[in-house]
Amino acid sequence: MAGTSGCAGRERGEPGLEGQIRLAQQQLKNGQAASAQRILADARMLARDDAERVRLALLSGDCLMAMQQYAAASDEYFRARGLAEENDREATYVATMGLARSRLAEGQGRSAERHLLEALALADTAAQRDRAYLELARRSLAGADRKQAADYLARIEDQQLFGLAELRAELKPIAPTAKPAPIELPTVLAPEIIARERWGARPVRNSGNPEPMEKPWRITVHHSAEPERPPTDLAASVAQMQRFQGFHQDDRGWADIGYHYVIDGAGRIFEGREIGLQGAHAGTRELNRGNIGVCLMGDFSRLEPTAEQKKALRRLLSWLCESRRIHPRFIVGHRAGMKDIAKDTICPGARLEAFLARLIPFLPRP
């Protein structure tokens, strides 16, 4: 339709990116989210810097939420947060609140709660804190924790905040704790992780004897050794993930892909084996206990990991150390982790091993 094309803003006398954004906002306000999304797709070509790309990604996320495309909305909010987090704290807060909404809509309550706590840590104003507390109360109420919901509501300063009276009415006669405990806020933002269903993972095979993971307390870092150069194209990386899983299930007879997380050459983090299941990566059943397996695609015996892989590994390990309370001294490369069982391996490659040694001292300690 001509009225929803990228040139519509120019036809109405509003040239350039600002005109496109205003037009998309108006379309979204009028309930035309799909039309707004098409306008934004054209507007991306006009963005000149990260600040403008952040605005487009946030608005696109809102459009996709209205279209009930929640996974795609999460992608946009993650994109906005990744661009904003070093320079724009307010936009990072807005993107994180968007992530919480999209995760709640997807039924991922624990992930949503994590993002709400991240937003609370980012909040610079009472209004921002109040909005985070309100959504945390909604999350607690949805999880049947009425006492926690009441405690969150008691922290809200603006007594006229939209939605507050309604939630309080639902909670009656539950009273907040007289002196609620301090809230422990995250200091590391969760990375974007491509879920199993998005790369076409097969189901876990019971024939491979999957075991529940005990409380994780250590991490082993690997390289895949092949392909030599890690793929950066998404389709190639998805195909590689499927090959890994196929080899581990069909040739090795394992329940699933051996690693819990895999990082491609562009720095994308893929969910491998579910974190609730013990991996098959460290060398023996005993070494796999409580051990999170992280693999970087590529062979780093000679080549250096890409800059994007290094950044993604730093972010993933930082998040795992904080969220799982793992001390960095329990992070090793595969070769170092196998030294006590006299098995020979060059994994994760000398170049990755050297980077890991430089990185570990700077990771957060629980």
Name the H helices within 210-349.
234-246, 285-288, 307-323, 334-337
Question: Which range, of 19-28, 72-81, 205-214, 333-342, averages the lowest pLDDT?
Answer: 333-342
Assess whether the previous peptide bond of 364 is cis (omega < 30° from 0): no
- Which tokens go with 341? 């069982």
For the chain, the domains span 193-362
- The correct CATH number of 193-362 out of 3.20.20.410, 3.40.80.10, 3.40.50.1000, 1.10.10.60 is 3.40.80.10
The per-residue pLDDT for range 27-71, each reduced to its tens digit, is 999 999 999 999 999 999 999 999 999 999 999 999 999 999 999
Identify residue 239 by its one-letter amino acid code.
A
Phi, psi (deg, nearest 5) at residue 296 = -100, 130
- Per-residue pLDDT reduced to its tens digit, 141-167: 888 898 999 999 999 999 999 999 999
Q: What is the predicted pLDDT for the residue at 341?
A: 56
- Cα separation, 126 vs 81, in Å, equals 21
Closest CA to 135 of 115, 107, 158: 115
- Exposed/middle/buried for residue 125 (C-beta within 10 Å: 0-12, 13-18, 19+): exposed
The stretch 291-319 carries a mean pLDDT of 96
Question: Kind and range of the H or E element at 161?
Answer: none
Confidence class of residue 182 from pLDDT cuts 50, 70 and 90? confident
Eight-class DSSP state of 201 = P
Q: What is the pLDDT of residues 183-225, one digit of tens each?
A: 989 999 999 999 999 999 999 999 888 899 999 999 999 999 9
Strand partners, 218: 291
Report residue 98's pLDDT band, with 50, 70 and 90 as the boundaries: very high
pLDDT at 1 exceeding the cut of 60: no
Position 265 scores a pLDDT of: 97
pLDDT at 3: 38
b/e map 343-366, b = 16+ CB within 10 Å: eeeebbbebbbebbeebbeebbee
Angle at 169 between CA 165 and CA 175, to 5 degrees: 105
Sheet order of strands, 291-296 included: 193-194, 269-271, 261-263, 291-296, 218-223, 331-333
Angle at 117 between CA 170 and CA 79, to 5 degrees: 115
Give the C-alpha separation, 18 to 98, whole Å: 22
With a cut of 80, say whether residue 20 has pLDDT above it: yes
Residue 340 is encoded by which pair of tokens?
Answer: 């006590």
- Contact criterion met (CB below 8 Å) for 218 and 291: yes
- The CA–CA distances, whole Å, from 246 to 193, 236, 250, 306, 322 equal 21, 15, 6, 26, 32
Q: What was the pLDDT predicted at 6?
A: 38
- Residue 340's pLDDT band (boundaries 50, 70, 90)? low
Element (H, E) at 219: strand 218-223
Neighbour tally for 195: CB within 10 Å: 13
- Report the SS3 class of residue 165: helix
Angle between helices 50-66 and 33-43 (to 10 degrees): 160
Counting DSSP H helices and E strands in the chain, the numbers are 15, 6
Give CA–CA dist 252/50, Å, rounded. 45
Rounded CA-CA distance 292/297 in Å is: 16
pTM of the model: 0.86
